[in-house]
Amino acid sequence: MSKIVDDFEKNLNDLDSELDNIQKCAQEILQKVENSFSYPYSISSVTNELNVLLLATQHFEKRAKSFGVTSLTTNSTTAASTDIKAINEPGRLNTMVEEKKLAVDALNQESKRIADNAKAAYQLQ
């Protein structure tokens, strides 16, 4: 059981790191778009970077699902987490998983918003 918990904890840590990288990438793209009035940022560059971001997000979702994160539950006999407190606080792991899902959804929405803004800016040119 300990090996399963350790493996799952490692997988969650890997997913957390991957999500952090995705968020950083999205922030960089957003900054480039916001600064595009001062520093030119071609629509093809925006499109390419958004495509890479979308692929990274899809890869993250597939990995999360393959690790069972989207359907994970905890009960009194099983627990896994990236935080030892989750073992002692029933439902905390579910909260962490839901927060990750919300972060991915927010990232997808932000990616769409950036793409829409880039398309609108391109059409104005």
What pTM did the predictor assign? 0.52
**Is the pLDDT score of 81 beyond 80?**
no
User: Counting beta carbons within 10 angstroms of the beta carbon of residue 64, is it exposed (0 to 12), middle (13 to 18) or buried (19 or more)?
Assistant: buried
Q: What is the pLDDT of residue 123?
A: 78
Q: Band the pLDDT of 70: cuts 50, 70, 90.
A: low
20 contacts: CB under 8 Å, gap ≥ 6: none
Average pLDDT over the chain reads 75
Q: What is the pLDDT of residue 108?
A: 77
How far is the C-alpha of 63 from the C-alpha of 60, rounded, in Å? 5
Provide the H-helix boundaries in 67-88.
84-88
Return the higher-pLDDT residue of 60 and 101: 60
Q: What is the pLDDT of residue 84?
A: 47
How far is the C-alpha of 96 from the C-alpha of 98, rounded, in Å? 5
How many CB atoms lie under 10 A from the CB of residue 60?
A: 19
